[in-house]
């Protein structure tokens, strides 16, 4: 077990569980569940951290992901790679969070904090940091404008480290269809970013 900076205890990193272990996870055997969570905790946390850019929030969201997984263990298929299922739960939670009032409050607070830090320091480095934070926030807003399935595909492919075969199982489409849809989604995201997020063109 390891302890986070917030004092939370969580399983140490481990290898992916075997089919036999997944059977035990479905039976909710404590040791098997601990190994299962250990195998995916850091990947899920890293995925969420990249998208929310807040370690404390990413920790909270990751804990919620695993609570949802725990409640749904009866749907775990030991014969299949559980990664698509795990990251679909994470992507759905992130979608729910981005739609929430809490996300809007945090976004407003972070923009004010960034402006305050730049004003306090008055330095070019602070302005650069604020600009990067604004770009990241704008990119997340543009990502939220994609259709639900396209957004999930981009998130899971880019940050969940799922290949076309795994994603074809998540979405029920062929690997070629995954590749084509991913390409179209990235093109659309790029268009939105250039229109709304590039310097001098950032929308409010």
pLDDT at 115: 38
Q: Where are the alpha helices (DSSP H) in the chain?
A: 19-26, 30-52, 55-71, 83-98, 101-121, 124-144, 148-158, 164-171, 175-196
Question: Which is more confident, 29 or 14?
Answer: 29
What is the pLDDT, as a whole number, of residue 12? 46
Which phi-psi region, left, alpha or beta, contains residue 143 (left: φ > 0; alpha: ψ -120 to 50)?
A: alpha
Cβ(143)–Cβ(189) below 8 Å: yes
Q: Residue 138: its pLDDT value, please?
A: 83
Q: Residues 2-20: what's their mean pLDDT?
A: 56
Distance, CA of 127 to CA of 114 (rounded, Å): 9
What does the alpha-carbon distance between residue 185 and residue 31 come to, in Å, rounded to a whole number? 40
Domains of the chain: 1-99 (1.10.1740.10), 145-204 (1.10.10)
What pLDDT, on the 0 to 100 scale, is given for residue 199?
65
Mean pLDDT of 118-135: 52
Tell me which DSSP letter residue 145 carries: T
pTM reported for the whole predicted model: 0.61
Helix (H), strand (E) counts: the chain? 9, 2
Cross-strand bridge partners of residue 9: 3
Per the listing, tokens 């709304």 go with 196
CB-based contacts of 96, cutoff 8 Å, min separation 6: none
99 burial level (CB within 10 Å; 0-12, 13-18, 19+): exposed
How much of the chain exceeds pLDDT 70, in percent?
Answer: 71
H or E element, residue 48: helix 30-52
């Amino acid at each position: 077990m390891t302890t986070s900076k917030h004092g939370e205890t969580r399983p140490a990193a481990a290898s992916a569980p075997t089919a036999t272990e997944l059977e035990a996870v479905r039976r909710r055997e404590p040791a098997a569940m601990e190994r299962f969570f250990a195998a995916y905790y850091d990947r899920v946390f890293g995925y969420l951290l990249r998208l929310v850019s807040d370690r404390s929030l990413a920790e909270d969201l990751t804990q919620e992901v695993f609570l949802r997984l725990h409640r749904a263990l009866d749907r775990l298929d030991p014969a299949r790679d559980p990664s698509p299922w795990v990251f679909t739960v994470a992507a759905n939670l992130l979608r729910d969070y981005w739609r929430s009032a809490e996300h809007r409050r945090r976004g407003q607070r972070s923009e004010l904090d960034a402006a305050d830090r730049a004003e306090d320091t008055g330095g070019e480095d602070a302005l650069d940091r604020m600009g990067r934070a604004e770009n990241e926030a704008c990119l997340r807003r543009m990502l939220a404008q994609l259709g639900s399935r396209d957004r999930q595909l981009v998130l899971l492919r880019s940050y969940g480290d799922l290949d076309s075969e795994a994603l074809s199982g998540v979405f029920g489409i062929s690997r070629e269809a995954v590749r084509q849809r991913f390409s179209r989604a990235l093109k659309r995201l790029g268009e939105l970013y250039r229109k709304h997020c590039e310097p001098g063109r950032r929308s409010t």
